[in-house]
Amino acid sequence: MRGLQFPLNQTQRVRLQSALQQLQDVASKSTASVTVADTIPVSNEDGILKGHGTSELNGEVVATLCGVVERVNKLVYVRSLRSRYKPEVGDIIVGRVIEIAPKRWRLEINFSQDAVLMLSSMNLPDGIQRRRTAVDELNMRSIFEENDVICAEVRGFQRDGSLQLQARSQKYGKLTRGQMLTVPAYLVKRRKHHFHHLQQYGVDLILGCNGYVWVGEHVEVRENDMVVDQKNKLDETQVQSLVSFETRQFVCRIANAVRLLAALGFALLVEVIVDTVEASVLSNVAIKDMLGAEFYVQTAEREVQRRLSLMKRRS
């Protein structure tokens, strides 16, 4: 158990061990797991490409990492099950502003180096594409301040190895009225969509590729709404009073579902998160009890049933 600590009685311990064993059996049937020095079976045809995590020894392809064997046409590589965040261009990330420098913001993004968001890579309040002036640079603090949580996209790498971000779309920008969670980055799989509007709850869910997850009140994206003029800003207490009690409950419930799934080591898929939330509501489980021992075991047992049903559909 990672991140959650609670006592399990004998019955719960037996149920949890049984569920985890079934999950391991299902995983072994659906994927080819290897450890270091294991031989990877490949066809004898010419042109096999040895990718990441593989090497050639005595005419055989062997694994140099512990993970799962993946094949893309003639490319064979090993995907590590647990690894640190490795940025790629186009990744959707969530970060926190730690410094305001000349013409740029510096963000902490759960990587070995900080990321940089240039003023020139931002949408300005007027929404017009133009050169950034000295006035814009002086007003940077009115856009983002220290400790603000921001959603952005990886644009590329700078010469010093740091990441360069961009936030030119209206869907990017400052995130408010919610919670930022930290989970292992390998639990967030790269997918076509990382922005999710859970309409039934009135909540936005952003699964950052860097392991930062945002759960907050849904915000309608409007033209020039990324940056609000300083005169029209409400103080923090006024902003919080605008969020309904029901929405705050759902934000906390979804956040606890993410914490629970991350503690179990399950991939953070939006459908699994929603199923966990629905199960807690149907079972009348209080928000704080979602992080308790019984619901923890029940979540593992539900995941077993979900994966078994997926195997039946594929077969």
DSSP letters for 65-124:
SSEEEEEETTEEEEEESS------TT-EEEEEEEEEETTEEEEE-SSSS-EEEEEEEE--
pLDDT tens sequence across 274-303: 999 999 999 999 999 999 999 999 999 999
How many CB atoms within 10 Å of residue 163? 24
pLDDT of residue 29: 67
pLDDT tens sequence across 51-109: 888 888 887 888 888 888 887 888 888 877 777 888 889 999 999 999 999 999 999 99
Question: Which structure tokens are listed for 23?
Answer: 């999950």
| CA count, 13 A, side-chain hemisphere, 107 | 29
Domains with residue ranges and CATH for the chain: 31-81 (2.40.50.100)
pLDDT tens sequence across 213-261: 999 998 876 654 444 444 444 444 444 457 789 999 999 999 999 999 9
Per-residue pLDDT band at 42 (split at 50, 70, 90): confident
pTM: 0.81
pLDDT of residue 44: 62
pLDDT reading at 1 higher than 60: no
